[in-house]
Chain A
Amino acid sequence: AQSVAQPEDQVNVAEGNPLTVKCTYSVSGNPYLFWYVQYPNRGLQFLLKYITGDNLVKGSYGFEAEFNKSQTSFHLKKPSALVSDSALYFCAVRDRGGATNKLIFGTGTLLAVQP
């Protein structure tokens, strides 16, 4: 069965420090991987995706993520956190071989950046 795990419900980091939001996946075949951010009472905003190519993917707002096939992980990172980065972050996966392009979401990680 396909699944995505975000092991941390919340990540706390001081402004200016690097941040990491963890994500691991389990799918058959090679996945498409996504990160989305959600601000309160808003829809999801796309941050970045991995399809193929370089394992390090750069996205919006200075975020990046590293695809690690051996560890089946796709952790989200940013070198220097901002207070405005505080939001709910979702990792998602779509099975390339799937009949539809359904996304499977992780449970979300709340990022809190302290000034």
Chain B
Amino acid sequence: GAVVSQHPSWVICKSGTSVKIECRSLDFQATTMFWYRQFPKQSLMLMATSNEGSKATYEQGVEKDKFLINHASLTLSTLTVTSAHPEDSSFYICSASITSGRANEQFFGPGTRLTVL
């Protein structure tokens, strides 16, 4: 149980286009989802915390108008990278949190590799 999927697993896009990444909790309901980005050989940096039905909370330095997060249901959150640029190329990982009984443990998706040309 507690499986999180991400789609797509990798994407290549042209500079200036927008890319949407989906994060789904497959066998549980997650009121909270998190979005991270990871640069090569570096740690995960939290970008935003997403609660179902409400606006995401962005970490300091993360542009909310560039990284649009939608958490429309208890099993789906999406991250849209708008007007992507090469510096947005990164590995994006989501996680989903069970609200009770499991100490709010986070379960991570497999990640999405974004390459902006």
Report which A residues bind B (CB closer than 8 A).
32, 36, 41-46, 49, 51, 90, 94, 100-103, 105-108, 110
Contact pick for A94, options B4, B41, B104, CB 8 Å: B104
**How many chain B residues have a CB neighbour from A under 8 Å?**
25
Q: State the majority secondary structure of interface residues on B.
A: strand
Report which B residues bind A (CB closer than 8 A).
4, 6, 32, 34, 41-44, 46, 49, 57, 91, 93, 95, 97, 103-111, 113
Do B111 and A42 touch across chains, with their CB atoms under 8 A apart?
Answer: yes
Give the residue name and chain of the A residue nearest to B113 (CB): A41
Do B111 and A43 touch across chains, with their CB atoms under 8 A apart?
Answer: yes
Give the residue name and chain of the B residue nearest to A9 (CB): B41
Counting residue pairs across A and B whose Cβ atoms lie within 8 Å, the total is 50
CB of A26, distance to nearest CB on chain B (Å): 16
Interface hub of A45, A49, A103, A107 (most chain B Cβ within 10 A) = A103
Q: Give 16 CB contacts A-B under 8 Å.
A: A32-B103, A41-B113, A43-B111, A44-B108, A45-B108, A46-B107, A90-B43, A100-B32, A101-B32, A101-B104, A101-B106, A102-B46, A103-B106, A108-B42, A108-B43, A110-B41
